[in-house]
Structure 1
């Protein structure tokens, strides 16, 4: 199996995707269904309740959502369940796709079963980001990036991640350790995604240790290490923090709701990611899973609802035209900042995960 990467150019296309108004067809009742249930493991607020209600009414298929906040938890659960999974659809980020595939956890996507497959935005047509050796393994869903979020009432405009380490913000910052370690490595001029470290584990370990020691040195700046987007949102709302490393979704949601938050991509750069819906290998309700995937593609209004709830940019065509001006502004970036985003790669993921996880534990323990 080949690893695959996404270039900065394709990152820009992904984050700018979603133009052109489409008709909004009704969800089509399936002629046959393997069962009347579909089990989906996904993130909070990724699937709008209004869509679930309409889908269940139109198809008679019950949607059961199991929430997750971590790719590793999804992977471990599927691995433990083996050939008898309890989930039909999982939500995987592009750079973790090869890990799931190498463990035979996902089935190839039969796009011929999706009548609405052509309603993906132009940058995702044919899902090249999720295609390996001519086989497609997922439905593109939402795209985002890691940015620097700040409360504009208490912080100055900046062009550097260095603002997170200034003494005036002691106890007023927050981040996900494993994510921010990669960004700090980039901030220090190293390869935070480990793509160039395949035959240089000693160099990788030195760069990792440098970032680890730097974060330990500046541990007094941190109010709390967080795990879920809802946590960092609440800290901003309570004014417990003024600065944070965030996924673009939670920050954009705050901006859409009118809070004084700004998200930017500092000059040192950052990383982007793509979420997809993936059918599990040996899914107990595969027919119902395909009915669900086809229905969620059926209109840009569904994609817009997903964007409003999650804050991430939709992979579905026509969504930008459904959003209002404030919502579009929350999702947009100046061109020079968008140029600084690079999608996470699947290359050398085992090395990266091992070194990052160990360093994160050492930071917590320090």
Structure 2
């Protein structure tokens, strides 16, 4: 196997009702049929390393497949996938996407319908996460994050971000602006299909709370670490990751309910190595593969049989009551409005 970075560029509510190295061999005749390059399109950096260490390395070590990486920001990768619809073949075989990105790519006729009969562990996928156009791997939610050393009363709601006590000490991660629009909508009486109340609420935050904006997750973490901020809203997995790395950050599940996020893998309609692509999906969904991904990313996994201990499950997964309150994106609504939301965020909230 080779790790070839030759393609590297600058770059919905619910209750959840053999090792990765063996996953590619679970379907009759699959292992012997595999060969050639398998081009995996993914985010770079630690996320790519997590997937490689979790299941890619063991699953494709000695089965005739050369693992090739296409690493770039999702915006660049989506642009290329759209451009390649006119070509006889796609330059990638599997692509990592968020749930919203996958919806967008499917809406643009990029992704093939998943043949779940080819996946030996498909029946363990949580039904409410299953999609016809991509295979979910992990999920979490946007929650409230805070420093327990500086916040005396633990927050309980997204509305705590508007608490005058935190004036100048609220941190927001610029790239997930849409999640702050959703959170503000929930606080102000809207919902995931009506965010109109959010805009006045966010302008109130801008004027009265004066939040600090950060360009990356790492920069937000640094804001907590150096004492610039006390509270934020971000993905649940980030709270667990930063806490594990020694940053005193705690997670508070908001009374309004968390905003769900999921990530998974799609197969372009013109993938060159479809057999290897399905072997990749099979390896990812294996009990050990899923457990390793959860341990690396601190997200909950989309299957029910991951080989996690009970202690690990309790740490990584939402409770049933929390799952009941998860808010899932209205994809059609978001797709219709996201450009306008981004324009408003840049011109009005940031301006």
> Common fold, TM-score beyond 0.5?
yes
RMSD: 2.9
Deviations 1:85-120 (A, max 9, x none): 3222122333444321221110111223323434x2
Indicate the residue corresponding to 2:3 in structure 1.
Answer: none
Deviations 1:262-313 (A, max 9, x none): 2122223331122221101201222221121112223x22212111221110
The answer to whether the 8 Å contact 1:91/1:278 transfers is yes
| Poorly superposed stretches of 4+, deviation over 6 Å | 22-25
The answer to whether the 8 Å contact 2:22/2:59 transfers is no
Change (3 A) 1:81 1:25: closer
Indicate the residue corresponding to 1:211 in structure 2.
Answer: 201
Indicate the residue corresponding to 1:302 in structure 2.
Answer: 289
Choose which of 246, 249, 257 in structure 1 pairs with 2:234: 246
Deviations 1:187-227 (A, max 9, x none): 11122x2x2x5xxxxxx6x53531342243246232x3334
The answer to whether the 8 Å contact 2:137/2:264 transfers is yes
In structure 2, the gaps of 5 or more residues are: 1-11, 26-30
- 1:350 matches 2:322: no
The answer to whether the 8 Å contact 2:139/2:262 transfers is yes
Q: Distance in 2 between matches of 1:114 and 1:335?
A: 27
How many aligned residue pairs are there? 326
Per-residue deviation, 1:56: 3.0
The answer to whether the 8 Å contact 1:130/1:140 transfers is yes
In structure 1, the gaps of 5 or more residues are: 1-5, 198-203
The answer to whether the 8 Å contact 1:233/1:251 transfers is no
Q: Distance in 1 between matches of 2:251 and 2:19?
A: 32
Change (3 A) 1:230 1:82: farther
Per-residue deviation, 1:236: 3.2
Change (3 A) 1:301 1:23: closer
Deviations 1:321-350 (A, max 9, x none): 52463x434324455544332111223223
Choose which of 265, 268, 276 in structure 1 pairs with 2:253: 265
Choose which of 204, 208, 226 in structure 1 pairs with 2:215: 226
- 1:61 matches 2:65: yes
The answer to whether the 8 Å contact 1:94/1:276 transfers is yes
- 1:108 matches 2:95: no
| TM-score of the two chains, using structure 2 as the length reference | 0.81
Deviations 1:39-84 (A, max 9, x none): 23247425142523222323232323344554x4443231133334
The answer to whether the 8 Å contact 2:283/2:289 transfers is no
Q: Distance in 1 between matches of 2:325 and 2:346?
A: 29
